[in-house]
């Protein structure tokens, strides 16, 4: 899809809105994606503490909601396919960066890989623009609702993400499951209820719609509180036994130095 298409431009505007950015950093307790967004923030904070203070290239930045997490870094470039108030560089229509070889210390890719039609090409480009010893911070979806932005292509397991990152030349330092176990189960229950309906039958559809609304107002916030009480872990190691998780993340290096 062209970077100048109306659909791409519409998504770019929505990602740049302040409400969207704030929801990423401080989601409301009753929002459908409260736990995934809260845990994603914790995961990126965890990874950002392990890198140095060099330049960061946010590859597919959208509204660049996590820019402030890298305030100690020497430079931060937000890059995306279409212009926006938080986009510093426009990618070409194929998604390539146009950056020089080995020009950045960190590449950040937050919830982008599932929207990329050719993930290996995207990761190879990230590898190319990293300095030897530079970091890749990457998060993406394990189990989540389909959400075109404007397209949605993939979901990943922790081991699947490790494989494709390694196949593109990186040395994986750490892989994590984000929003795991009980937190994932409650998130998926809320998603299932929010998407329940029978549009081909009017009366049941109306009844279910009313029930969904009542659940979102009263039960959903309580379920989030319950999830946090039962399991406060925002993320866990990839080899942990929990078999369901909303997201996955990796910290990887372009080979040159030992993993942090």
pLDDT value for 192: 95
pLDDT value for 144: 95
pLDDT value for 257: 58
Q: Could you tell me what percentage of the chain is helix, strand and coil, using 3-state DSSP and rounding each to the nearest 5?
A: 40, 20, 40
- Alpha-carbon gap, residue 248 to 260, rounded angstroms: 19
Averaged over successive runs of 10 residues, the pLDDT of the chain (260 residues) comes to 53 72 92 97 97 96 95 96 93 95 98 97 98 98 90 96 98 98 97 85 84 94 97 98 98 80
Give residues with Cβ within 8 angstroms of 127, minimum separation 6. 136, 168, 169, 170, 254
- Alpha-carbon gap, residue 203 to 93, rounded angstroms: 46
Q: Which residue has the tokens 């210390």?
A: 105
pLDDT value for 1: 39
* CB 59 within 8 Å of CB 104: no
Give the distance from CA 160 to its chain's centroid: 16
Q: Does domain 6-181+233-253 have CATH number 2.60.40.10?
A: no
pLDDT value for 149: 79
pTM: 0.91
């Amino acid at each position: 899809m062209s970077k100048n298409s109306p659909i791409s431009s519409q998504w770019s505007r929505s990602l740049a809105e302040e409400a969207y950015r704030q929801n990423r950093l401080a989601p409301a307790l009753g929002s459908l994606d409260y736990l995934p967004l809260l845990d994603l923030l914790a995961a990126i904070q965890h990874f950002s503490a392990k890198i140095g203070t060099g330049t960061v290239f946010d590859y597919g930045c959208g509204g660049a909601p996590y820019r402030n997490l890298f305030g100690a870094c020497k430079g931060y470039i937000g890059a995306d396919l279409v212009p926006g108030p938080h986009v510093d560089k426009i990618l070409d229509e194929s998604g390539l960066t146009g950056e020089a070889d080995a020009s950045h210390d960190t590449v950040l890719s937050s919830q982008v890989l599932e929207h990329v039609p050719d993930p290996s090409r995207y990761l190879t480009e990230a590898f190319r623009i990293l300095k030897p010893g530079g970091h890749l911070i990457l998060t993406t979806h394990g189990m989540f609702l389909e959400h075109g932005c404007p397209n949605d292509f993939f979901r990943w397991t922790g081991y699947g993400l490790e494989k494709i990152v390694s196949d593109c030349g990186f040395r994986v330092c750490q892989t994590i499951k984000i929003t795991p176990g009980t937190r994932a189960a409650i998130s998926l229950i809320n998603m299932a209820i929010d998407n329940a309906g029978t549009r081909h039958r009017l009366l049941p559809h109306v009844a279910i719609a009313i029930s969904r609304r009542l659940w979102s107002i009263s039960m959903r916030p309580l379920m989030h509180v319950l999830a946090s009480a039962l399991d406060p872990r925002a993320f866990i190691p990839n080899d942990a036994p929990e078999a369901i998780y909303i997201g996955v993340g990796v910290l990887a290096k372009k080979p040159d130095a030992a993993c942090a």
